[in-house]
């Protein structure tokens, strides 16, 4: 299916998410191979089915270590390191709480406080024990569960980018349900829309122009349910076990690797604007766009992309 004379778009639904591939040539077989690759990674990393390498680890919680493929091991090792970043909200062992809340899935509900307190005791990332020699992962307590929902799409977006590059593609874009990774620079660069939180009509707050970068947004408006006038969204605070509650409607990260984008959206979500900007001072390769509930848009820096504001109701601060 073609957008205009030059861009060809291919779509699929995988990982419960709409997937979009844009190429500058008509190449159906390549698009099929990309979707197959995504499916293979989904099969390794999903926790939404009974069987995957991550589920093998989870099923053996409290029992024994499980050896996994090198790539899954490396991703889990990276996720554990991020889980230990002070002040960050990312926790790879958040699984028991994600499963209990079921936010975005059938049967979502607010769990009783004592359930949350009990499940919180099963989310200590120190209890994810790694063995480099065996590529094995051991969850030391029964009931523990790894959940890579916050980062798996980023990891897979990077693998798709690598694969396209290997295949000689110099211009392309992959969007895995909001995880955008780009190759090269079409005329004018790639323009990625920044969504207006809670807009009914897919309205955009701004446009982000990038070359060879990934753009990822985590927001409280993506997956949520409402009960008694309160909104419960899918980014959980590992300190409390409840959805994160701060000044932010969304955080967008721009970086070369989509995995970094994913890790940092969740890390920074927990820090808020001030501490988030502070944390990124030492990382010029990673840039953030904060959208607050007060309708401010704050750029930590904008060295590797260009931002255009498209909504007069919002105030832009750099």
- Of 99 and 223, the one with the shorter C-beta distance to Mg ion is 223
- Of 98 and 271, the one with the shorter C-beta distance to ligand FAD is 98
Q: How far is the CB of 231 from ligand FAD (least distance, A)?
A: 15
Instruction: Round to whole Å and give the CA distance between 54 and 48.
Output: 10
Q: Which of 69, 57, 64 is nearest to 145 (CA)?
A: 57
Q: List residues binding ligand FAD (CB under 6 A).
A: 15-17, 42, 45-46, 48, 89-91, 94, 98, 104, 147, 149-150, 152-153, 178, 218, 222-223, 234-236, 238, 262, 265-266
Q: How far is the CB of 312 from Mg ion (least distance, A)?
A: 26
**Using an 8 Å Cβ cutoff, are 186 and 171 in contact?**
yes
Q: How far is the CB of 238 from ligand FAD (least distance, A)?
A: 5
Closest residue to Mg ion, based on beta-carbon distance: 178
Instruction: Round to whole Å and give the CA distance between 218 and 154.
Output: 12
149 binds, among Mg ion, ligand FAD, none (CB under 5 to 8 A by kind): ligand FAD
Q: How far is the CB of 222 from Mg ion (least distance, A)?
A: 5
CB atoms within 10 A of CB 208: 24
238 binds, among Mg ion, ligand FAD, none (CB under 5 to 8 A by kind): ligand FAD
89 binds, among ligand FAD, Mg ion, none (CB under 5 to 8 A by kind): ligand FAD
Closest residue to ligand FAD, based on beta-carbon distance: 16
- Of 239 and 315, the one with the shorter C-beta distance to ligand FAD is 239
Q: How far is the CB of 219 from Mg ion (least distance, A)?
A: 7
Instruction: Round to whole Å and give the CA distance between 282 and 50.
Output: 41
- Distances in Å between the alpha carbon of 61 and those of 22, 55, 97, 223? 40, 10, 15, 28
CA of residue 123 relative to chain centroid, distance? 19
Instruction: Round to whole Å and give the CA distance between 143 and 95.
Output: 9
186 binds, among Mg ion, ligand FAD, none (CB under 5 to 8 A by kind): none
Number of H helices, E strands in the chain: 7, 17
Extract the runs of DSSP E, i.e. beta strands, from 184-257.
190-195, 204-210, 214-219, 224-227, 230-233, 248-255
* 232: its two tokens: 């419960």
Using alpha carbons only, give the angle 106, 111, 116 rounded to the nearest 5 degrees. Answer: 125
Q: List residues binding Mg ion (CB under 5 A).
A: 150, 178, 262
- Of 16 and 87, the one with the shorter C-beta distance to ligand FAD is 16
Q: Which of 152, 101, 108 is nearest to 123 (CA)?
A: 101
- Of 169 and 176, the one with the shorter C-beta distance to Mg ion is 176
- Of 152 and 171, the one with the shorter C-beta distance to ligand FAD is 152
Q: How far is the CB of 6 from ligand FAD (least distance, A)?
A: 29
- Of 8 and 35, the one with the shorter C-beta distance to ligand FAD is 35
Q: How far is the CB of 4 from ligand FAD (least distance, A)?
A: 28
């Amino acid at each position: 299916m073609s957008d205009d004379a030059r861009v060809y778009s291919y779509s699929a639904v995988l990982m419960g998410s709409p997937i979009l591939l844009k190429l500058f040539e008509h190449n159906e077989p390549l698009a099929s191979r990309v979707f197959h690759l995504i499916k293979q990674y989904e099969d390794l990393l999903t926790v939404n089915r009974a069987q995957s390498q991550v589920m093998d680890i989870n099923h053996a919680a409290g029992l024994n270590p499980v050896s996994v493929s090198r790539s899954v091991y490396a991703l889990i090792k990276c996720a554990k390191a991020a889980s230990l970043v002070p002040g960050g909200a990312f926790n790879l062992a958040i699984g028991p709480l994600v499963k209990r809340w079921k936010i975005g899935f059938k049967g979502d509900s607010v769990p009783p406080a004592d359930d949350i307190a009990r499940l919180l005791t099963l989310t200590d990332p120190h209890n994810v024990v790694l063995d480099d020699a065996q590529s094995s992962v051991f969850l030391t307590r029964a009931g523990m569960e790894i959940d890579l929902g916050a980062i798996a799409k980023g990891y897979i977006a990077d693998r798709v980018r690598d694969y396209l590059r290997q295949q000689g593609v110099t211009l392309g874009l992959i969007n895995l349900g909001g995880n955008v990774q780009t190759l090269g620079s079409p005329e004018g660069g790639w323009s990625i829309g920044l969504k207006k939180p809670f807009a009914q009509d897919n309205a955009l707050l701004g446009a982000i122009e990038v070359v060879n970068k990934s753009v990822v947004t985590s927001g409280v408006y993506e997956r949520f349910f409402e009960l008694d006038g309160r909104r419960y969204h899918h980014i959980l605070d590992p300190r409390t076990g409840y959805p994160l509650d701060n000044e932010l409607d969304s955080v967008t990260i721009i970086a070369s690797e989509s995995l970094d984008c994913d890790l940092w959206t969740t890390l920074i979500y927990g820090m808020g604007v001030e501490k988030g900007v502070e944390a990124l001072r030492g990382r010029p390769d990673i840039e953030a766009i904060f959208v607050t509930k007060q309708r401010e848009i704050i750029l930590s820096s904008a060295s590797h992309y260009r931002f255009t504001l498209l909504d007069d109701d919002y105030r832009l601060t750099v």
